[in-house]
Amino acid sequence: MVDKTRKTIMVHEKEKQKRMVCHLQYKGKHYYFGNLKVLTDNFGKEQLGVGYKSLANHFVNHSKFFNDHCIIIKGELVTSKRGI
């Protein structure tokens, strides 16, 4: 006898894929980036009040950064695998 429930759960786990996402709140607007480098390439140190290296060091131990200029949250985006 095949355990269909377990088989279904295993299939669903294979279908899910996690990707890192950086959420930036800046001047009342929300922006989403695939990594910190792309975020800091689009918004400079003058705009964010912090540079790439400082953010990268901060996010080693934290998932949220905020100052007087912006809020940045690092999280996961769950997607399904392609071709299914």
Q: What pLDDT, in 10s, does the model give residues 37-55?
A: 999 999 999 999 999 999 9
CA distance 74 to 53: 15
CA distance 24 to 37: 13
Overall pTM > 0.85:
no
How many residues are given for the chain?
84
* Amino acid present at 47: Q
Read off the tokens for 74: 């690092």
CA distance 55 to 62: 10
**Regions of the chain with pLDDT less than 70:** 1-15, 82-84
